[in-house]
C-alpha cells in the first residue's frame, strides 16, 4: 500500500482544520490524512470486489472524527459513477499477532465488530458507504468521537489493524448500465453462487452475480482500455483524552429477521440485500408504485443519538428510523444527481441527508424497539437493493 503522492497536493496530509473548546476542553486539533488503497484494474464491464488487509490508517490512541472515500484514477482525478460504479466500500477493525507483517495476510485475525444487531460476520464494519459517499457528511460533532487504538483493549502480543472491502463495477460500454450496477444475473451470465450452488430462479440479481473478476455484458463491438484505479480515503481524528465522549456504532438492516426461541438467545439474520418487484400493471400513476419494507428491532442497550444516516441504492425514496412511540429518530433522504460530473451523476444516488440531533434531544431507551422503514419506487424491478441505517450513540453526554 502506498500513500497519496501526486505532485503538489497529495502527500500524506496532516493538518489542523479546527480546534475544540467544548465543555472546557483544552485545544485538541483535528488532524487529516489522505491515503490510497492498493491499485485495482478495471476494463469495460469488469468487476473488482477486493479485500485489502493491513491498510494504511492513523495509529495511536485516537478518536475518529470523520471518514470519506471515493474512486480516483492514477492522476488523482475523481472517476464518475457512470464510468466506475462504487457499489460499496467498508472498513473493518481487527487484531492480529505482531509477528505477522505481510499485507493481505489473514493469519489469526480477530475481527472487532461494531455494536449493531446483525450476526455471523455480517455488517460488522466501522464505516462504509457506496455511490453516495462523495455527498454524504460523516463529521462527528464535539465532544464526541469513535475511540480506536486503546492499548488496554488490545491483547498482549497483538496489534490493531484495518481491512477494506472495495466493490466497483466498470460500466463503460455496457448494454444496460442500471442492470449492471444492480448486478442482474442475466447480464453477468452467472447461474451459481460463490460456493458453486445453483442460484434460485427467483434470484434476479445481487452480490452473488457480480463477484470479483466477473463481467457485465457489453454492447456488441465495444472496446476500451483497462485503467488503474484506487480508493482514496480521507480520515480525520484527534488524540484521545478524557474530554472525548465515546460513541457506539450501530448498523441496522431492513432485511433483519429476529428469531426468538425459548431458552435461546435472540438471533438476528441480516440478508443485507433484497429485491423490489415491479408494481402491478393495473396502476395508472407511478406515485402508487412504492415498495415499503419495515422491520422492528429491540435495542438491548440504548443511548443518545448523535448522528444518523441511511444507505440505499438507486430507486430509493426514503429511509426512516422510528422510536417505539412512533416518533422519528432520523429520516435520511437520497439525493439524485442531474449532471455528468463526478459527484452529480444523473440518475445515481450521490448523497444522503444526515441527522445531527441536538445532543440529549433524542434518546433510545434500553430495551426499546425501533422500527426501520425503507421506501423504493417500484415502477420497475430493482435487484440487489439495500436498506441499511447507521446511527452513532452516546451512553452519556459528557465526562
- Tens of pLDDT, residue by residue over 246-267, are 999 999 999 999 887 766 677 8
Q: Is residue 309 part of a domain?
A: yes
| pLDDT tens digit sequence for 118-141 | 988 899 999 999 999 999 999 999
Answer whether 386's CB lies under 8 Å from 256's CB.
no
Mean pLDDT within 159-163: 96
Q: Is residue 45 part of a domain?
A: yes
Number of folded domains in the chain? 1
pLDDT computed for residue 263 by the predictor: 67
pLDDT computed for residue 6 by the predictor: 36
Q: Does residue 316 have a pLDDT over 90?
A: yes
Q: Give me the residue label for grid cell 422510528.
A: 322
* % residues pLDDT > 90 (the chain): 84
pTM listed for this prediction: 0.90
Cell of 295: 422491520
Q: Residue 396 has what DSSP assignment?
A: S
**Average pLDDT value over all residues in the chain:** 91
| Residue 298: strand pairing partners | 369
pLDDT computed for residue 194 by the predictor: 87
pLDDT computed for residue 106 by the predictor: 81
Domain that holds residue 326: 31-394
* Per-position DSSP letters for 285-342, written without gaps between them: -GGG-EEEEEEEEE-SS-EEEEEEEEEE-TTEEEEEEE-TTS-EEEEE-EEEB-BSST
How far is residue 363's CA from residue 24's CA, in Å, rounded to a whole number?
A: 24
List the helix and strand counts (H, then E) for the chain: 2, 25
Q: Is residue 241 part of a domain?
A: yes
Say if strands 245-246 and 144-148 run parallel, antiparallel, or are unpaired. Answer: parallel
| pLDDT tens digit sequence for 209-241 | 999 999 999 999 999 999 999 999 999 999 999
What is the b/e burial string over 94-112, where b = at least 16 CB atoms within 10 angstroms of the residue's CB? bbbeeebeeeeeeeebeeb
Percentage helix, strand, coil for the chain under 3-state DSSP, each rounded to 5? 5, 45, 50
3-state secondary structure of 58: coil
Q: Is residue 142 part of a domain?
A: yes
pLDDT computed for residue 259 by the predictor: 84
Q: Is residue 1 part of a domain?
A: no
Q: Is residue 136 part of a domain?
A: yes
pLDDT computed for residue 383 by the predictor: 97
| pLDDT tens digit sequence for 176-204 | 999 999 999 999 999 999 889 999 999 99
Q: Is residue 17 part of a domain?
A: no
Q: Is residue 322 part of a domain?
A: yes
Amino acid at each position: 500500500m502506498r500513500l497519496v503522492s501526486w505532485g503538489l497536493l497529495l502527500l500524506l496530509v496532516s493538518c489542523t482544520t479546527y480546534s475544540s473548546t467544548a465543555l472546557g476542553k483544552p485545544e485538541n486539533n483535528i488532524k487529516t490524512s489522505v491515503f490510497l488503497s492498493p491499485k485495482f484494474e478495471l476494463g469495460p464491464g469488469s468487476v473488482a470486489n477486493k479485500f485489502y488487509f493491513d491498510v494504511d490508517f492513523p495509529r495511536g490512541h485516537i478518536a475518529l472524527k470523520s471518514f470519506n472515500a471515493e474512486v480516483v484514477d492514477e492522476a488523482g482525478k475523481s472517476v464518475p459513477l457512470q464510468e466506475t460504479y462504487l457499489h460499496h466500500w467498508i472498513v473493518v477493525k481487527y487484531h492480529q499477532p505482531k509477528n505477522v507483517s505481510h499485507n493481505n495476510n489473514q493469519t489469526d485475525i480477530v475481527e472487532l465488530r461494531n455494536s449493531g444487531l446483525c450476526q455471523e460476520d455480517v455488517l460488522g464494519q466501522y464505516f462504509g458507504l457506496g455511490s453516495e459517499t462523495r455527498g454524504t457528511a460523516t463529521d462527528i460533532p464535539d465532544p464526541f468521537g469513535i475511540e480506536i487504538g486503546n492499548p488496554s483493549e488490545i491483547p498482549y502480543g497483538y496489534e490493531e489493524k484495518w481491512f477494506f472491502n472495495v466493490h466497483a463495477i466498470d460500466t463503460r460500454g455496457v448494454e444496460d448500465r442500471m442492470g449492471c450496477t444492480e448486478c442482474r444475473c442475466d447480464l453477468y451470465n452467472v447461474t451459481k453462487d460463490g460456493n458453486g450452488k445453483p442460484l434460485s430462479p427467483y434470484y434476479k440479481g445481487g452480490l452473488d452475480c457480480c463477484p470479483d473478476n466477473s463481467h457485465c455484458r457489453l454492447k456488441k463491438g465495444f472496446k476500451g482500455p483497462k485503467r488503474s484505479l484506487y480508493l482514496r480515503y480521507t480520515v480525520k481524528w484527534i488524540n484521545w483524552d478524557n474530554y472525548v465522549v465515546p460513541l457506539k456504532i450501530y448498523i441496522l438492516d431492513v432485511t433483519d429477521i429476529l428469531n426468538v426461541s425459548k431458552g435461546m438467545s435472540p438471533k438476528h439474520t441480516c440478508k443485507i440485500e433484497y429485491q423490489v418487484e415491479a408494481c402491478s400493471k393495473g396502476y395508472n400513476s407511478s406515485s402508487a408504485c412504492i415498495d415499503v419494507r419495515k422491520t422492528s428491532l429491540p435495542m438491548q442497550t440504548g443511548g443518545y443519538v448523535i448522528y444518523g444516516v441511511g444507505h440505499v441504492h438507486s430507486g430509493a425514496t426514503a429511509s426512516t428510523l422510528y422510536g417505539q412511540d412512533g416518533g422519528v429518530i432520523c429520516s435520511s433522504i437520497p439525493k439524485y444527481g442531474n449532471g455528468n460530473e463526478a459527484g452529480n451523476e444523473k440518475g445515481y444516488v450521490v448523497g444522503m441527508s444526515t441527522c445531527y440531533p441536538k445532543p440529549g434531544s433524542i434518546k433510545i431507551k434500553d430495551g426499546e424497539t425501533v422500527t426501520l422503514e425503507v421506501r423504493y419506487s417500484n415502477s420497475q424491478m430493482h435487484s440487489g437493493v439495500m436498506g441499511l441505517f447507521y446511527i452513532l450513540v452516546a451512553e452519556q453526554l459528557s465526562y
